[in-house]
Amino acid sequence: MPTYRLLLLPGDGIGVETIAEVERVIAFFNKTAKGAKFETETDLVGGAAFDKHGVALTDEAMAKAQGADAVIFGAVGGPKWDQVPYAVRPEAGLLALRKHLGLFANLRPAICYPALADASSLKRELVEGLDIMIVRELTGGVYFGEPKEIVVLEDGQKRAVDTQVYTTHEIERIARVAFDLARKRSNKVHSAEKRNVMRTGVLWNEVVTATHKAYAPDVKLEHILADNCAMQLVRNPKQFDVIVTDNLFGDVLSDEAAMTTGSLGMLPSASLGAADPKTGKRKALYEPVHGSAPDIAGKGLANPIATIASFGMALRYSFAMGKEADLVEKAIAKTLDQGLRTADIMQPGMRQVGTSEMGSAILKELGKLAG
Ligand code: NAD
């Protein structure tokens, strides 16, 4: 039976509280899962690392991340560290992990649990049962392209430049991730770009088309302009299965898709690197979409579901434990069906619980489902 190494980086604020609930879920699978065992190590990141070591992530912690089979990340940041130097601000720890682990593929599911369909800003019939995966390119595009500058012109005005750059290789590898995912889902990919006005959009379209032909002709591919994609996501989101897109459009479209399904406290994510040519394994980091929520930190109010669901994604995408990942998703759905809610997703007539009570309820359902 394989033993997988997990590095837990709780970080700051509610990251500490939600990762504590994930540790209970890991302990559950160590007791019950027949396919694998997990060994965990914990280290500091973000403000917590700065307070102890003066940096947002130590070299030792980075080495542990490099050696781990997956990193499970909480959240970083908070007003306490607003004034620390830019290079060692809490977010620098997360950005360094993304860069050094080469995490180029960001997977952002938007799943609408039936019990929360009425909490969506869209009509129940549009979102109930929704299950979309947005695959965002995370290490290229306009956030990183050079030149990136603000220059002062001769007449005293300023000129700001960001540069959108993509290469064939960058587009092909993210397209492959999307096609691989689609094969395990409903076998459909929409590729979103702006080929009508951007040269990078033209190349994106060409490379995705060529990759589809050579690598995944069995998957249904449709091209869509990114602005139309934004409209379709609120008009008829269930038409989508996997959406693959660049860093900038992915940033916007993934937030848009996610918010059709409810609160920040419900949203998991995964970031994956390239597959190792020998082992096929990918470097991977799993984290909730939310931040450290300083307004509720330390009060036992945080919703742990986004972080627990992020661990569920680790089971599916790093360890091929699809059955166990399904159990996690079902246990969350059943707990919500019983009317338990943390404050962020509270609705009339439901019972409000805190972080650890929500964790306990999910564990209880896991126990029942695992038989
Ligand atoms: P946030 O996500 O921390 O919080 C936004 C709002 O949502 C708050 O009212 C918060 O209480 C609520 N919320 C978020 N997660 C919740 C949960 N699990 N349960 C219940 N309520 C939840 O965003 P923010 O307030 O803009 O940022 C706070 C700090 O977090 C900042 O320092 C920011 O830089 C940092 N941040 C970190 C990450 C990360 O670590 N990946 C992401 C976003 C923001």
Q: Is 218 a catalytic residue?
A: no
Instruction: Give the pLDDT band (50/70/90) at residue 54.
Output: very high
Choosing from 12, 21, 255, 290 the residue with most ligand 1 atoms within 8 A of its CB, the one to mutate for a pocket test is: 290
CA-nearest residue for atom 20, ligand 1, is 302
User: 74: CA distance to ligand 1 center in Å?
Assistant: 11
Res 158: pLDDT:
98
Res 121: pLDDT:
87
Q: Is 295 a catalytic residue?
A: no
Express each pLDDT in 244-301 by its tens digit: 999 999 999 999 998 888 778 999 999 999 989 998 899 999 999 999 999 999 999 9
Percent of the chain topping pLDDT 70: 100
Percent of the chain topping pLDDT 90: 91
Contact (Cβ atoms closer than 8 angstroms) between residue 346 and residue 303:
no
Express each pLDDT in 210-257 by its tens digit: 999 999 999 999 999 999 999 999 999 999 999 999 999 999 999 999
Around Cβ 301, how many Cβ atoms within 10 Å? 19
Torsion angle, alpha carbons of 136, 142, 143, 149, to 10:
180
User: 231: CA distance to ligand 1 center in Å?
Assistant: 26
Res 267: pLDDT:
93
Express each pLDDT in 170-182 by its tens digit: 999 999 999 999 9
Q: Is 166 a catalytic residue?
A: no
Express each pLDDT in 9-32 by its tens digit: 999 999 999 999 999 999 999 999
CA-nearest residue for atom 23, ligand 1, is 291
Res 270: pLDDT:
98
Res 127: pLDDT:
93
3-state SS class at 140: coil
DSSP string, 238-278: GG-SEEEE-HHHHHHHHHHHHHTT--GGG-EEEEEEEEPTT
Choosing from 91, 263, 264, 285 the residue with most ligand 1 atoms within 8 A of its CB, the one to mutate for a pocket test is: 264
Selecting among 143, 162, 180, 326, the annotated active-site residue is 143
- Mean pLDDT of the 187-207 span: 98
**Residue that is written with structure tokens 């009425």 in the block:** 118
**Residue that is written with structure tokens 């587009």 in the block:** 171
Residue scoring higher pLDDT (364 or 1): 364
Q: Is 162 a catalytic residue?
A: no
Res 371: pLDDT:
81
Q: Which amino acid is at 190?
A: H
CA-nearest residue for atom 5, ligand 1, is 293
User: 83: CA distance to ligand 1 center in Å?
Assistant: 18
Q: Which atom of ligand 1 is nearest to the CA of 294?
A: 28
Using omega within 30 degrees of 0 as the cis cutoff, is the peptide bond preceding 85 cis?
no
Q: Which atom of ligand 1 is nearest to the CA of 75?
A: 40
User: 90: CA distance to ligand 1 center in Å?
Assistant: 13
- Mean pLDDT of the 124-133 span: 93
Res 303: pLDDT:
97
Instruction: Give the pLDDT band (50/70/90) at residue 161.
Output: very high
Q: Which atom of ligand 1 is nearest to the CA of 77?
A: 32
DSSP string, 165-199: ---HHHHHHHHHHHHHHHHTTTSEEEEEE-TTT-H
User: 293: CA distance to ligand 1 center in Å?
Assistant: 4
Which pTM value belongs to this model? Answer: 0.94
Average confidence score pLDDT of the chain? 96
Express each pLDDT in 304-329 by its tens digit: 999 999 999 999 999 999 999 999 99
The CA R_g of the chain, rounded to the nearest whole Å, is 21
- Of 40, 48, 38, which is closest to residue 14 (Cα–Cα)? 48
Q: Is 194 a catalytic residue?
A: yes
Contact (Cβ atoms closer than 8 angstroms) between residue 258 and residue 269:
no
Q: Which residues line ligand 1 (CB under 6 A)?
A: 14, 75-78, 94, 264-265, 287, 290-296, 302-303, 306, 342, 344
- Bridge partners (DSSP) of residue 221 are 189
Tokens representing 63 are 């080495």
User: 161: CA distance to ligand 1 center in Å?
Assistant: 29
